[in-house]
Amino acid sequence: MNGLTQAAQDYLVIRRALGFKLKLHAHLLPDLVAFLDEAGASFVTTDLAVQWATQPAGSATWHAARLSIVRGFARHLATIDARTQIPPPGLLRRPGHASRRAVPYLYSSHDITALMAAAAGLRPLPAATYQTLIGLLAVGGLRIGEALRLDRDDLDDEHSVLVVRDTKFGKSREVPLHETTLAALHAYLRRRDDLRPTATGPSLFISTTGTRLLYKVVQPTFAKLCQQAGLQPRSPRCRPRIHDLRHSLAVSTLLDWYRADADVGALLPRLSTLLGHVDPASTYWYLEAAPELLALAAGRLQGAAEDLS
């Protein structure tokens, strides 16, 4: 068994352990490995990947799908063989397929501190609101829409949780709060009540007029805060978004677990519940979103294989 054959099998094992069925991958990856072997290549190159993807007769959509499979496999290979070339997105674009999933902008603790400092320069009420909102998103894993829909009564002091209602999948969940987060939320409520005692409605986060804070206002304000904090796009598809505060929490949590040699499989349902995912397979997407995570997962699999050999 050559190295690419073994790598393909390992890749399928990792992805299936993450909840993916990969029926098409299981059929096509051996064919890709045979093609590379016939070409005398011991690693993936972009030219060979495109040649293989477009080799059979078929539609542009089929060719793009084949290249997408190579791209995922190449990302895995790149963690164990630096010679690997990952075919860039867009080489074989599907007809009419203009939108692509954004690459998460993973915020560091320094980035979040810079955002909070930028928010402090707003007028008193917006300053308190955006500092608290950014802090909650960074530690709570809420979607921005979920945070904006929060009411004061959703803050459960007795059990130190936030009740997140009517989520993306029509369910509600409880988000546990650290004592410092709970204290920060109460400090915000006291501050906003001092600044806007005539706030209307039950909303937790309010605008300068005392009404519920709206996403169409939050989004451009957050973009300005990013500029003031010096946060620049890392690529055309990786720009700082408020939703990526949630992604950053998920990735940092998984990184901490892997570095601590924890049983990630056993812990993952906790993170899935916190994030409001339907199942852990959705949470495992973050392994692909962060190359460091994929490398750690691959390293753990390799170590397990060596223990069994």
The catalytic position among 143, 191, 239, 241 is: 143
Q: How far apart (Å, rounded) are the C-alpha atoms in residues 62 and 74?
A: 18
Judge whether 105 counts as a catalytic residue: no
Residues with Cβ < 8 Å from 91, sequence gap 6 or more?
A: 46, 50, 67
pTM for the full predicted model: 0.64
- Condensed to tens digits (0 to 9), the pLDDT of residues 42-86 reads 899 999 999 999 887 777 778 888 888 999 999 989 888 889 999
pLDDT of residue 270: 84
305: left (phi over 0), alpha (psi -120 to 50) or beta: alpha
Q: How far apart (Å, rounded) are the C-alpha atoms in residues 280 and 293?
A: 16
- Condensed to tens digits (0 to 9), the pLDDT of residues 138-147 reads 999 899 999 9
Judge whether 243 counts as a catalytic residue: yes
- Return the higher-pLDDT residue of 295 and 130: 130
Range scoring the smallest mean pLDDT among 61-75, 106-120, 143-157, 257-271: 257-271
The catalytic position among 173, 243, 270, 300 is: 243
Q: How far apart (Å, rounded) are the C-alpha atoms in residues 47 and 53?
A: 10
Judge whether 216 counts as a catalytic residue: no
Q: How far apart (Å, rounded) are the C-alpha atoms in residues 5 and 53?
A: 18
Judge whether 143 counts as a catalytic residue: yes
Q: What is the full DSSP assignment across 135-149?
A: HHHHHH---HHHHHT
Handedness of CA 269, 277, 300, 37 (dihedral sign): positive
The catalytic position among 246, 247, 258, 284 is: 246
